[in-house]
Amino acid sequence: MNPPDKSVPEKTRETAALYFKGVTDERPYDLWRAFDKNLARDLSLFITGQMYAREKIPHTVRQLVTVAALTVLVRPEELKLHIQAALNVGCPPEDIAETIFQTAVYGGVPAVNTALKVLKAVLEEKGMWPPEPAEARP
Amino acid sequence: MNPPDKSVPEKTRETAALYFKGVTDERPYDLWRAFDKNLARDLSLFITGQMYAREKIPHTVRQLVTVAALTVLVRPEELKLHIQAALNVGCPPEDIAETIFQTAVYGGVPAVNTALKVLKAVLEEKGMWPPEPAEARP
Amino acid sequence: MNPPDKSVPEKTRETAALYFKGVTDERPYDLWRAFDKNLARDLSLFITGQMYAREKIPHTVRQLVTVAALTVLVRPEELKLHIQAALNVGCPPEDIAETIFQTAVYGGVPAVNTALKVLKAVLEEKGMWPPEPAEARP
Amino acid sequence: MNPPDKSVPEKTRETAALYFKGVTDERPYDLWRAFDKNLARDLSLFITGQMYAREKIPHTVRQLVTVAALTVLVRPEELKLHIQAALNVGCPPEDIAETIFQTAVYGGVPAVNTALKVLKAVLEEKGMWPPEPAEARP
Amino acid sequence: MNPPDKSVPEKTRETAALYFKGVTDERPYDLWRAFDKNLARDLSLFITGQMYAREKIPHTVRQLVTVAALTVLVRPEELKLHIQAALNVGCPPEDIAETIFQTAVYGGVPAVNTALKVLKAVLEEKGMWPPEPAEARP
Amino acid sequence: MNPPDKSVPEKTRETAALYFKGVTDERPYDLWRAFDKNLARDLSLFITGQMYAREKIPHTVRQLVTVAALTVLVRPEELKLHIQAALNVGCPPEDIAETIFQTAVYGGVPAVNTALKVLKAVLEEKGMWPPEPAEARP
């Protein structure tokens, strides 16, 4: 259950900080704000404060689910933001890769390839590439 | 790591049994087989034995990821199969609902509505509808 | 500018009444509510009270824009709701048809055919079919 | 090269007769015509007389290409029309099935399943189901 | 009703001049023409002369409808052409932005973000960025 | 019927050599391999050795069908690979262009434009642009 003692703006700030810490790409919020301040605030409070902040499923699962949706929809810019969010909430890179591969059966292989390139680019930016081979992990 | 001691056909049978136990809808395998037996076997071994059977992420996460992909792609027949699989591997209905809701931001609300109707229909078929209210759960 | 003197719940009620007067199809709100009352309220206030209620473009244009989006996305159930909303806010049937035809160049002809069938079905339900020929209109 | 001695309306009639002989489903042309006679004629002359009638690639290839596009777009009603057209211009059922299977890698397996169901239904309607096994063909 | 006294080529020229005045991006017509002159002419006469030139709904509404379709389909290059056309026929920038925002509910937020970036880039090219704040407009 | 005397790895190698001879773009196989060697091998054997290598329809038709699917799905990177494969197996450039144009009715004109740009770029890279005018061909 969502904690009743936190306001939506508080939850928005906390969830945004958790997900997008260290993200330097342009954030959709800034784009919305340039067009319409009120709508930008409404969108942000709704998406981050009322959707992402829900404590129904673990943040790691929420981000993998998001990665799957963005992979099959082929939305590489938004995917980049959420791969960073997935890493920030503790998803191991190989779980993100596995999530992307899993969608091949549903959304096709080219959508998977686009998503893997985004994942590889994020890992390179963060100095986490190449991934440690599975057999070397404990 | 995938267990080296099981053959792909064995893993295909075990994973199919785990996922689709009690499913009475027409299975894609039967449709493929009516057109081409060899290809049906190749497809089945690849999808079920080599993709689904991978033990990289828990089956519950794999199914939620699949639900997210099928929701935004609006594939209600395949979604029905995988909502049944999600329940079979132990996903609570409310986690499946939450996964579907979470995709609204990415794939739009009409895709969510279609998926929720499928989820509701599966739960009704199984006598699991209406869901027990969250506040009543321990 | 949105009137500052109305609350979001008020605007939600007024806009829902304007758009969906006389609509007897299942409303998405009821579906959401069956899964999660709080989220249903949040979604409804956001979509109807904060998006649809904005007085930036006339309601007729907002509904035609919505018809175009739902046509190319091929979402016939949601399209049916918004064709009814378009008629409720005063769009003539031929403007709705023209909007659908216009999308053929972008989303392809099969998507147009699906949308025209929905439009025809709505007009039949309302006793507005066949449309009065253009040459007979003043 | 398109024969210079035939008018677009002639080519439209001939191509429509070739493709859609014996098709009893509602034809898009009739739907368009109920909304706008002039536009229906313009659309029909353009699509059938200026696109389909082009003699650049064999009609069999044109129809398989169309089947592939409609499969990955998941447009089962239009697909049904063009599976009938494919059979009318001489495509063997197994070439249509192979074309559908081939798209699995690009558009995903659920789209293939939907298309195979349409193909099966058309073959059943025509008394051509089940397909003669390949090994029995000369 | 379309004026009977103008030929399709005349209407094509006039409508193209109205919509795409000052547009310096590569025009699809030139691309088509490089592959097939006759087909390029047929496509251009059909799309511009027979679809866009129809005087059923105002050009401003036709362009907003087009913007909505191209936003949810995520076709940024074609969208850029039609945002320029929308400005050419007199749509205020904020109506174009509002149209894009309105589609978020149907096609998802990432598609909106892509479209807003295109709109922002067009306005910057034309020296119309940042938009005058709404409260400063009469 | 697939030749019984060749193994899947042999067919994979032969088909890959036939399709992608001279292709210097990054191949999906290398991307998959960077994440997971075993899965990369499984995917490659399945897609190339079990799908592409099937001798049910001529390789030229298989590639045109693939071009149609990738055009309407708007997957320009994968399309580039398969336009090269289409040329490698003997499809004339104008058949590829015709296949792309044919999909306009189903997937819309912007998807066609994106695909034609990819085709033009491949032909330019190979010194095959501009295409010899049809009237000059024997």
Query: Which of chain F's residues have a Cβ under 8 Å away from the Cβ of D103?
Result: 65-66, 69
**Long-range Cβ contact pairs of C40-49 (< 8 A, separation 24 or more):** C42/A46, C42/A50, C43/B104, C43/B109, C44/C12, C44/C16, C45/C8, C45/C9, C45/C12, C46/A42, C46/A46, C46/A50, C47/B109, C47/E105, C48/C11, C48/C12, C48/C15, C48/C16, C48/C19, C49/C8, C49/C9, C49/C11, C49/C12, C49/C15
Which carries the bigger pLDDT value, residue B3 or residue B54?
B54
- CA-to-CA separations, D129 to B35, D93, D94, D133, D134, in angstroms, rounded: 10, 10, 11, 11, 13
For residue range D50-92, list pLDDT tens digits in order: 999 888 999 999 999 999 999 999 999 999 999 999 999 999 9
Q: Name the DSSP class of F53.
A: T
Give the Cα separation of E49 and A106 in Å (integer).
40
Cβ neighbors of E63 (< 8 A, separation 6 or more) are E19, E82, E85, E86, E89, E91
Q: Please, are residues B35 and D116 in contact by the beta-carbon 8 Å criterion?
A: yes
Put simply, whether F21 touches E (Cβ < 8 Å) is no
Kindly report the pTM of this predicted structure.
Answer: 0.94
pLDDT at E138: 46
Q: Please, are residues A119 and A100 in contact by the beta-carbon 8 Å criterion?
A: yes
Put simply, whether C57 touches A (Cβ < 8 Å) is no
For residue range D2-19, list pLDDT tens digits in order: 445 689 999 999 999 999
Give the Cα separation of D9 and D20 in Å (integer).
16
Cβ neighbors of C131 (< 8 A, separation 6 or more) are C93, C94, C97, C123, D34, D35
Q: At D101, is the pLDDT very low, low, confident or very high (cuts 50, 70, 90)?
A: very high
Measured in whole angstroms, how far is the alpha carbon of residue A126 from the centre of its chain?
Answer: 15
Give the Cα separation of D115 and D67 in Å (integer).
9
Number of CB pairs, chain E paired with chain F, less than 8 A apart? 40
For residue range F56-91, list pLDDT tens digits in order: 999 999 999 999 999 999 999 999 999 999 999 999
Put simply, whether C81 touches B (Cβ < 8 Å) is no
Q: Name the DSSP class of F27.
A: P
pLDDT at B128 over 80: yes
SS3 A27: coil
Cα dihedral sign, E114-E116-E118-E124:
negative
Of the candidates F92, F91, F104, F8, which has an alpha carbon nearest to the alpha carbon of residue F54?
F8
For residue range D21-32, list pLDDT tens digits in order: 999 888 999 999
Measured in whole angstroms, how far is the alpha carbon of residue B91 from the centre of its chain?
Answer: 10
* DSSP line for D51-108: IIT--SS-HHHHHHHHHHHHHHHT-HHHHHHHHHHHHHTT--HHHHHHHHHHTHHHH-
For residue range C58-115, list pLDDT tens digits in order: 999 999 999 999 999 999 999 999 999 999 999 999 999 999 999 999 999 999 999 9
- CA-to-CA separations, E67 to A111, C31, C35, C107, D44, in angstroms, rounded: 25, 30, 34, 12, 26
Put simply, whether A76 touches D (Cβ < 8 Å) is no
Give the Cα separation of F108 and F72 in Å (integer).
8
Q: At E28, is the pLDDT very low, low, confident or very high (cuts 50, 70, 90)?
A: very high
Give the Cα separation of D62 and F98 in Å (integer).
9
- CA-to-CA separations, B8 to B38, B42, B44, C133, D115, in angstroms, rounded: 15, 11, 10, 64, 28
Please state the φ and ψ torsions of residue E21, each to the nearest 5 degrees. Answer: -55, 125
Cβ neighbors of C71 (< 8 A, separation 6 or more) are C79, C99, C100, C103, C107, C111, C112, C114, C115, E69
Expressed in angstroms, the distance from the first to the final Cα of chain B is 35
SS3 C84: helix
Q: At F14, is the pLDDT very low, low, confident or very high (cuts 50, 70, 90)?
A: very high
Q: At E1, is the pLDDT very low, low, confident or very high (cuts 50, 70, 90)?
A: very low
> How many helices (DSSP H) and strands (DSSP E) are in chain C?
8, 0
Residue with tokens 């592409």, as numbered in its chain: F52
Query: Which of chain A's residues have a Cβ under 8 Å away from the Cβ of E97?
Result: 35-36
Cα dihedral sign, E70-E73-E77-E78:
negative
- Least CB-CB distance to C78: which of B113, B116, B120? B113
Query: Which of chain F's residues have a Cβ under 8 Å away from the Cβ of D107?
Result: 69, 73
Domain boundaries, chain F: 7-56, 59-130
Token digits for E122? 């067009």
Around Cβ D115, how many Cβ atoms within 10 Å? 29
Residue percentage of chain E with pLDDT more than 70: 91
Around Cβ E18, how many Cβ atoms within 10 Å? 15
Q: At B61, is the pLDDT very low, low, confident or very high (cuts 50, 70, 90)?
A: very high
pLDDT at F55: 83
Give the Cα separation of C95 and C119 in Å (integer).
11
Q: What is the mean pLDDT of chain E?
A: 92
pLDDT at E135: 55
Please state the φ and ψ torsions of residue F92, each to the nearest 5 degrees. Answer: -65, 145
Which of A82-91, C22-31, C88-97, D107-116 shows the lowest mean pLDDT across its residues? C22-31
- CA-to-CA separations, B58 to A56, A116, B61, in angstroms, rounded: 18, 20, 5
pLDDT at D38: 94
**Global ipTM:** 0.92
pLDDT at F6: 83
Which carries the bigger pLDDT value, residue A131 or residue B134?
A131
Which of A93-97, D53-57, D123-127 shows the lowest mean pLDDT across its residues? D53-57
- Least CB-CB distance to B46: which of F2, F42, F54? F42
Query: Which of chain D's residues have a Cβ under 8 Å away from the Cβ of A107?
Result: 108
Q: Please, are residues C70 and C78 in contact by the beta-carbon 8 Å criterion?
A: yes
Residue among E99, E101, E103, E113 with most chain A CBs within 10 A, to mutate: E113
pLDDT at B74: 98
Put simply, whether A28 touches E (Cβ < 8 Å) is yes
Q: Is the peptide bond before E3 cis (omega within 30 degrees of 0)?
A: no
Give the Cα separation of B69 and A102 in Å (integer).
9
Give the Cα separation of C104 and F99 in Å (integer).
19
Rounded mean pLDDT, B88-106: 97
- Least CB-CB distance to B101: which of C34, C39, C70? C39
- Give the dihedral of Cα atoms C95, C97, C98, C99; nearest 10 deg: 90
Which of A51-55, A105-109, E122-126, F105-109 shows the lowest mean pLDDT across its residues? A51-55
For residue A136, the distance in angstroms to the closest alpha carbon of chain E comes to 37
pLDDT at F49: 92
* DSSP line for E12-27: HHHHHHHHHTT--SPP
pLDDT at A43 over 90: yes
pLDDT at A138 over 50: no
Do residue E77 and residue F110 have CB atoms under 8 angstroms apart?
Answer: yes
Q: At C1, is the pLDDT very low, low, confident or very high (cuts 50, 70, 90)?
A: very low
For residue range A29-38, list pLDDT tens digits in order: 999 999 999 9
Rounded mean pLDDT, F18-42: 94
Measured in whole angstroms, how far is the alpha carbon of residue A53 from the centre of its chain?
Answer: 13
Where b means 16+ CB within 10 Å and e means fewer, F68-86 reads bbbbbbbbbebbbbbbbbb
Token digits for E131? 């938009």
For residue D77, the distance in angstroms to the closest alpha carbon of chain F comes to 12
Do residue A106 and residue D107 have CB atoms under 8 angstroms apart?
Answer: no
For residue E3, the distance in angstroms to the closest alpha carbon of chain D comes to 13
Q: At D138, is the pLDDT very low, low, confident or very high (cuts 50, 70, 90)?
A: very low
Report the topology of domain D59-130: AhpD-like (1.20.1290)
pLDDT at A111 over 80: yes
Give the Cα separation of C75 and A59 in Å (integer).
30
Which carries the bigger pLDDT value, residue A44 or residue B6?
A44
pLDDT at F30 over 50: yes
Q: At A12, is the pLDDT very low, low, confident or very high (cuts 50, 70, 90)?
A: very high
